[in-house]
Structure formats: C-alpha cells, structure tokens
Amino acid sequence: MRQHFPELSVLVRRGPIVEARHRAHGVVVRDGDVAEAWGDPELVTYLRSAAKPLQALPVAEAFPELTTQEIAIACASHEALPEQLEAARALLTRSGSSEADLECGEEHGGKLGHNCSGKHAGMLLLCHGRGWEPRNYRLQEHPLQQELLALVAHATGTKPERIPAAVDGCGVVTYAVSLRAMARAFARLIRRELPGADRVVSAMTTHPELVGGPDSVDTLVMRALPGAVAKRGAEGVLCAALPDGAGVALKVEDGAHRAVFAAAGRLLGIPELAERPVANSLGENVGSIAAE
C-alpha cells in the first residue's frame, strides 16, 4: 500500500476568485530515501527534456576537450538566443556535422534554432566518437539510444525492461520512470556518482542561462540556489539536485507549465517562484498564481 502524503495544489486567482487549480506531485530524495513528498512520489511519467543532463553524461565523459558552454547546451532546452545558438553550432561542428544532420524539427528559422538542437548535436558527436552510423540516431533501435536507455536505467535504479519508452517532441526516445526514481537520478548526478557528472554539473551551474533562458524555470531555480542544477521537461516536469546532495522531482498532473514555477518554489523554498503575479495584456497585476 502506498503511503499517503500531503496534497500540493497551485491556485490561480483573478481578483478574489480562484479561477483554476493545478494538482502537483513532488518528492525530495536524500541518501536514497524519500525525505519529503507531496501527492504521489511513485507516479510514473516521462522524463521528457529533464533527461537531458543524463543524456549528456557520456558526451561529457568521452570528450574532455568540450567547453563548459558546449556541455551546457547539450543539457539545454534553449530559446535560440545568440549565445545559445553559438554554443550549439560549436558542439555540432565538433563531429564534422552540419545543421542538415540534426534529426529534429525546425524552430526559429532552422534546425539549429530548435530548443533541443544542443542535445541532438551531442548525440551526433557521441555517434562519431563511438564509430556508429549517425543516420537515424534518434530511433529506439539505434545503438546510441540503447546506450542511453542503459544509462537512464542505471541512474534511476530501474530495470531497463521496466522502463516504458515513447517518442519525445523532438523525435528522440523518452523514458518513463517514477518521480522518486527521477529524484534519485538527480541526487546521483549532484553527488558525482555517475561518469561525466562532475563536468555536467559544473557546466550547468556555470551557465544556467544556456540551459534554459532568462525566464525559464530551470534557469531561475539555478540562479536562486547557487550550486543547484535543474532541468525542466514538457508537460509539467521539473527535476533538480541541491548542493547538499538531495534530488527533487515534480510533475504538474495536468501538464500546465505555468504551475511548475509555483510548485518548484514551494518544494525548493524559493518565495519569488512560489507566488507570482498574473498580468493582463496591459501589464497590470490582476491576480496571482501560488502553491498551497
């Protein structure tokens, strides 16, 4: 029987009325055990882009010549800002690849502008380093994705055959595990228990602005908590790891991204995220969104 934990709700108020309510699930793992939880810490959901720091581990491990900017962009869901495109282009060039070799869609005028282009460039580089045919590197049967499945399984403490797989928004494989397993993986990341973790953590904490963007929840978390790493994923997912070695994972049940900020602020003790104003098109403060 699963243990019952307190509920975590994010309420959206407009004037005096609660206009919307989002239910969130979250967990904090310390030393391998659940320290705090809200909702259902055993909820199984897809990592989505929160997996990127794990997927970047073998790239950071295999290529010591990479800059911290290149490693950070491999972990990123970027916003096609000039410095982000520069880092993604540099990483892509490492393998002698071109933008046409990226097997993601187009955003901001091209494939390099896609928010996952850094991850894809890192995958092309790893194929080059392993001597694998790069074509179809994004597909589940490719040896690259098989290596990454084994890595995610090891990091999360989940048997590979028990990890459901699907296709992410950028075309790469995404994996589903419990929130507790996600938090465990990020705890292992910050504790440098995974090969390549020291370089990934260093890159993310040095360049939080490359990992997301000025208003991205993962960048805001890392700026508010120096030394922490954080990575958001689609459909209301956020994973983080704290300097004290704790791992954190949360999921907004209905996938509403706007609720992730408040839920993260509540779980991580960041007041400026736990309650934020709701503005209209005139820039007027007409309500609030807060975790309770």
Domain assignment of residue 194, yes or no: yes
Q: Positive or negative CA dihedral for 40, 46, 50, 56? A: positive
- pLDDT, tens only, 274-286: 999 999 999 999 9
pLDDT at 2: 62
Q: How confident is the model at residue 34 (pLDDT cuts 50, 70, 90)?
A: very high
How far are the Cα atoms of 48, 233, 266 from residue 287, in angstroms, in the given order? 30, 26, 18
Does the pLDDT value for residue 110 go beyond 70? yes
Number of compact structural domains in the chain = 1
Find the helix or strand (DSSP H, E) in which 37 lies.
strand 33-38
Domain assignment of residue 265, yes or no: yes
Q: How confident is the model at residue 1 (pLDDT cuts 50, 70, 90)?
A: low
Domain assignment of residue 88, yes or no: yes
Domain assignment of residue 172, yes or no: yes
User: Which domain covers residue 203, as residue numbers?
Assistant: 8-291
d(CA 243, CA 84): 25
Specify the CATH number for the domain of residue 232: 3.40.710
Domain assignment of residue 2, yes or no: no
- pLDDT, tens only, 212-243: 999 999 999 999 999 999 999 999 999 999 99
At 102 the three-state DSSP class reads coil
Angle at CA of residue 188, ends 53 and 40, nearest 5° = 90
Half-sphere exposure of 131 (CA within 13 A, CB side): 0
Mean pLDDT of all residues belonging to the chain: 97
The DSSP call for residue 139 is S
Half-sphere exposure of 20 (CA within 13 A, CB side): 11
Beta bridge partners of 237: 233, 251
Domain assignment of residue 1, yes or no: no
pLDDT at 3: 74
Is the separation of the CB atoms in 21 and 258 below 8 Å?
A: no
Domain assignment of residue 36, yes or no: yes
Sheet of strand 165-167: strand arrangement: 44-46, 173-178, 165-167
Domain assignment of residue 146, yes or no: yes
Does the pLDDT value for residue 57 go beyond 60? yes
At 56 the three-state DSSP class reads coil
d(CA 260, CA 262): 6
* Alpha-helical segments (H) within 142-196: 143-156, 179-190
